[in-house]
Amino acid sequence: MAKKTSSLRFQPSGGSKAQQVPVGKKLKLHIERQANDGRGIGFNEGRTWFVSGALQGEQVEARVLAAHGKVVEARVERVLEPSPARRTEACAHARACGGCSLQHMPHTDQLALKQRMLEEQLSRLAAIQPTQWAAPLVGPELGYRRRARVAVRWDPAARHLAVGFRASASQDIIDIEQCPVLVQPLQPILQALPSVLRSLEKPQAIGHVELFSGDSNAVLIRHTSALSEADLARLSSFCSEQAAQLWLQGKDDPQPYVADQQLNYRLEQYNLMLAYRPGDFVQVNQPVNDAMVAQALDWLVPQANERVLDLFCGLGNFALPLAQRVRELVAVEGVDVMVQRAKHNAQMNGLNNTHFYQADLSKPLSEADWAVGGFDAVLLDPPRDGALQVVKQMKALNAGRVLYVSCNPATLARDSAELQQQGYRLERAGILDMFPQTGHVEAMALFVRQ
């Protein structure tokens, strides 16, 4: 007897699941507007496409990188009808490399995009706008990065060492020997680096390389196993030819190949020199960093009789210039090694009115001895997570002025709402173009107690 079949088709209670857009699929799209991070936005069959490398008004062929429900992440494969605003990228690798995402966009448009992002975050998350918008703080469009991390990967099958930067939305490495956003002193080092690394007896021992430029140039070699004497000699000779210090890092902290070598950068306007080591946080853009410090002092207006607090002080980038102008400077940092570095920098520059402390700034300040007595003004420069716990306690610090330097407009907006609740008015705000050619936004905001 033949088995009966049913014409009924059963589906899960939630209905049929929409088929996901496959990675690698190409589609022609019209770009209707620009996202806050600079990607173009297009729509197709109920899905929103975020397309890197696309400008508003363009017709493009986009290639899918990832898809999540109704959101598709893609990048431009071909520009079919370009926008009049599109410009030729300064770097031949710009569309593949993950370092720069906005080289095709005029710099004035990049600044407008970043300004709009800051305005929208403050309005949407905090329902707040400053009394005064400051002009964007800008520097050179290219040739600004004074440090960079170079990716390295050994392919045992091809016996090839890839040396360059990570591809956009990928772990692939783009072989790069020139990078227009690096400062000029690092250009010849980057250009010659692949050749010397590939000449090593054991190139597979190299994990990654970092380049630094300050008073001296430096090359940090991160190695996953011991380097032979011959390879160390090659690397040392290479760095000598490039007039750069050689630093090595295995399992422990970075160490100079030649003992007692030191890296420094200067804040020329204040006749200050700050020592640092590979791994320490140093702003990558010296011209904008110099302008940022100057603007911070201009906005905060520190007075000779005041006691000022610098939170998340790092190496002392803001603390040392502030200390030159006030009676007492208290600086706090969560990482003890950075506290020691900042103390050393203050002593090296002859500043005796500074006090540095290590503290977990996500915890209450009520038991902190350094917080007793209050402050006339506070400067804070937190990481991307922001400083919500600190700003919740700002009223207790009794500061009349608070200067907030942010690398994340979303957490700045969140913390601004809290400061407003505590009676502070957002007096002034503006963007800092620390990373031209990217969608990354930094900002500065001044709050005054009402």
Per the annotation, does 239 bind a ligand? Answer: no
Alpha helix locations (H) across 186-335? Answer: 187-198, 229-241, 286-300, 319-323
Name the residue with tokens 């005029």: 106
Residue 237's CB is within 10 A of a number of other CB atoms, namely 12
The pair of structure tokens assigned to 389 is 């716990």
Per the annotation, does 317 bind a ligand? Answer: yes
Contact criterion met (CB below 8 Å) for 246 and 219: yes
Contact criterion met (CB below 8 Å) for 343 and 358: no
Active site residue 239: no
Per the annotation, does 268 bind a ligand? Answer: no
Of the residues 407, 431, 434, 445, only one is catalytic, namely: 407
Which residue, 392, 423, 387, is CA-closest to 408?
Answer: 387
CB contact set of 134 (below 8 Å; sequence gap of 6+): 295, 428, 429, 430, 444
Per the annotation, does 295 bind a ligand? Answer: no
CB contact set of 350 (below 8 Å; sequence gap of 6+): none
Largest CA distance in the chain: 102
Per the annotation, does 360 bind a ligand? Answer: yes
Per the annotation, does 381 bind a ligand? Answer: yes
The pair of structure tokens assigned to 328 is 């007492």
Name the residue with tokens 């190496």: 315
DSSP state of 246: E
Strands of 167-216 (E only): list them.
Answer: 173-175, 206-213
The DSSP secondary structure of 1-62, one letter per residue, reads -PPP--------TT-PPPPPPPTT-EEEEE--EE-TTS-EEEEETTEEEEEET--TT-EEEE
Per the annotation, does 179 bind a ligand? Answer: yes
Give the residue ranges of the annotated binding site.
91, 97, 100, 179, 283, 312, 317, 333, 360, 381
Give the residue ranges of the annotated binding site for S-adenosyl-L-methionine.
283, 312, 317, 333, 360, 381
Give the residue ranges of the annotated binding site for [4Fe-4S] cluster.
91, 97, 100, 179
Q: Which are the catalytic amino acids?
A: 407
